[in-house]
Amino acid sequence: MVDCLEKIATKGRIPRTEAYTEYFATLFAKRHPELYASFMDRKCPRPITLRQFRNYTNQHTQFSRDVAQNAGLGRRTPKGATLATGPGEYYEIDATGGRVHIVDSQDPELVLKTPLIYLLIDRWSRMVVSIYVTLRPASWEEIRIALLIAFTPRERRFKNLGVNIDEDRWPQGRLCATLVMDTLSRNAAGQKRFWVATRPY
């Protein structure tokens, strides 16, 4: 990625989208012909996304001043845990209230429960590693269950539920280097539910 962007940027100013398109259609296709052919036949998702291309080249490219301007690189470089250099490095976990309500059969206006949906997403690939829907209040125990769903074999877990999911269709998540969470989670009324800090897992 870096070599391709450097080579293109030395010729003049070019949008990063064009550099990405050039890289994917030439160098990537040459280095990974089977994967590229599978994508072109619509048998798999795009192996390298524009976002991944941007993140990687931002972190690993060192240009002269003129070439950096041609490549669309600003002087500011991302810091901290905002970017990931590969799959499994950062997982993001978030919880949100669903728009589905369990109501009383005798009084449909009375909302009994609102499900809470946990999502665990790989920052690099944006793959959803885990989905967990619960009627229990937000807690560390609920987060633990969401993580267990991510890191346990799919076939063994979903076979008991009668769901046809295997490792090929939805790969099992691997233990991430860092788990990133919201600094604060609130319920629908805006009240604090629980406080979680960004920390390594």
CA distance 200 to 91: 10
Low-confidence winner among 56-65, 93-102, 118-127 (lowest mean pLDDT)? 56-65
Number of structural domains found in the chain: 2
Question: Do 56 and 145 fall into the same domain?
Answer: no
Give domain status of residue 76, yes or no: no
Domain region containing 182: 90-195
CA distance 66 to 9: 9
Q: What is the pLDDT of residues 157-178, one digit of tens each?
A: 888 778 888 888 888 888 887 8
Question: Do 190 and 138 fall into the same domain?
Answer: yes
User: Which pLDDT band, with edges at 50, 70 and 90, does 118 fall under?
Assistant: very high
Return all residues near 187 (Cβ < 8 A) that are at least 6 apart.
Answer: 97, 138, 193
CB 13 within 8 A of CB 69: yes
Q: What is the pLDDT of residues 47-79, one digit of tens each?
A: 888 878 877 777 766 554 444 454 455 444 444
Question: Do 119 and 190 fall into the same domain?
Answer: yes
pTM greater than the 0.85 cutoff = no
